[in-house]
């Protein structure tokens, strides 16, 4: 399963009121494990940078003046995200800006039903608590010391960690998929190369072992939880 964790920076808050994208950062996850594959671009908004926005992300109009406009990076961006699920914090904001830019180019909008909003996940999991990205990093003990200012790529990387925690913790490590982060690329490569078996493996249980297991299940009674997952095989009818 491929997911793209995404963040943006902008000149302000109004996607259709004159504000524009200035940065997009994306990180790829396969089976909830970071692959190291990223998309990152700064964008020339072709307008000034309000001081309020500059104080958030530190991107000046002068710095962005020689960067490509969105029209020149749109294809690369769309080719990176493809049709996969997008994981975004406060998704309405980022999707609103992305779709405003795509609309200006006459390109199809990004459908809202392919987006996982981690803000909504956090509000369900922690009702009444602070659910900004900073709040969630503090709650889960995620190191945010690199986050002096907002940056789309760094925030996407941090959000990927938060997303894992919202789904129940660092699952890959807990179930023994990887012992450390350096193992993730190897695992992803192996997963991509895997193909279905042409035929199922032969059973490894002997007939005696299967019979012993069936007898044990019978001893649990007809209300055993096991029967919800492995109902008994139908009894073969014999002629009289």
Q: Which of 197, 154, 187 is nearest to 31 (CA)?
A: 187
Cα torsion through 4, 29, 153, 171, rounded to 10: 120
213 in catalytic set: no
Catalytic residue among 40, 57, 89, 150: 150
Angle (nearest 5°) at CA 8 between 92 and 34: 100
- Residues with Cβ within 8 Å of 48's Cβ and at least 6 positions away in sequence, in order, are 11, 61
- Note whether 144 and 137 are within 8 A (CB): yes
d(Cα 87, Cα 27) in Å, to the nearest integer? 10
Active-site residue numbers?
Answer: 150
């Amino acid at each position: 399963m491929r997911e793209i964790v995404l963040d943006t920076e902008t000149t302000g808050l109004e996607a259709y009121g004159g504000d524009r994208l200035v940065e997009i950062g994306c990180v790829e996850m396969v089976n909830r494990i970071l692959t190291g594959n990223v998309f990152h671009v700064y964008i020339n908004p072709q307008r000034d940078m309000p001081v309020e926005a500059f104080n958030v992300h530190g991107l000046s109009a002068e710095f962005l003046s020689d960067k490509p406009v969105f029209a020149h990076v749109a294809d690369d961006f769309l080719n990176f995200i493809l049709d996969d699920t997008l994981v975004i914090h406060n998704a309405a904001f980022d999707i609103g800006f992305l779709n405003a830019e795509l609309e200006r180019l006459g390109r199809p909008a990004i459908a809202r039903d392919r987006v996982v909003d981690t803000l909504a996940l956090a509000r369900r999991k922690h009702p009444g608590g602070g659910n900004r990205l900073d709040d969630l990093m503090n709650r889960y003990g995620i190191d945010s010391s690199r986050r002096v200012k907002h940056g789309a790529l760094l925030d996407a990387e941090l959000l990927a960690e938060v997303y894992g925690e919202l789904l129940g913790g660092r699952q890959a490590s807990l179930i023994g998929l990887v012992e450390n982060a350096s193992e993730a690329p190897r695992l992803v490569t192996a997963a991509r190369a895997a193909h279905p078996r042409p035929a199922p493996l032969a059973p490894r249980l002997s007939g005696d072992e299967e019979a012993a297991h069936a007898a044990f299940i019978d001893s649990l009674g007809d209300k055993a939880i096991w029967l919800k997952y492995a109902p008994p095989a139908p009894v073969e009818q014999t002629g009289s």
